[in-house]
């Protein structure tokens, strides 16, 4: 989500978007919409896109230069992952970012 959109498009076009499950994003336009939503909300979600029965939520970890260097994710059985965890995942990722010297707005890397 934080990579250059043209680079993402070129990669997806070159490699294809093969799906792992019926929920996988295999359409470039849909992927681009999803990435835009992730940039806006600062959260990423996997809705059984890699493995049926498993969901995930993640937030970015940024360094002192504002560069995305990692992600903090929580995965769980689909019926046990709680949406209320999202704010805690974001807050924890922000705490890690702060510990790494991140002080400002995220910058695209």
Superfamily of domain 5-99: GAF domain (3.30.450.40)
The predicted model gives 70-85 an average pLDDT of 97
The overall pTM is greater than 0.75:
yes
What is the model's pLDDT at position 108? 45
All structural domains of the chain with their residue ranges: 5-99
What is the model's pLDDT at position 2? 87
Torsion on CA atoms 106, 10, 58, 43, rounded to nearest 10: 60
What is the model's pLDDT at position 55? 98
Residues of 22-46 as b/e, b for ≥16 C-beta within 10 angstroms? eeebeeeeeeeebbeebeeebbbbb
Cα distance between residue 47 and residue 19, in whole Å: 13
């Amino acid at each position: 989500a934080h990579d250059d959109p043209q680079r993402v498009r070129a990669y997806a076009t070159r490699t294809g978007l093969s799906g792992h499950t019926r929920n996988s994003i295999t359409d470039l336009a849909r992927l681009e919409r999803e990435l835009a939503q992730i940039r806006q909300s600062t959260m990423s979600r996997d809705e059984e896109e890699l493995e049926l029965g498993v969901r995930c939520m993640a937030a970015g970890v940024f360094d002192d230069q504002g560069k995305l260097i990692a992600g903090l994710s929580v995965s769980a059985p689909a019926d046990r992952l709680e949406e209320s965890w999202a704010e805690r995942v974001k807050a924890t990722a922000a705490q890690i970012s702060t510990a790494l010297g991140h002080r400002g707005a995220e910058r695209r890397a």
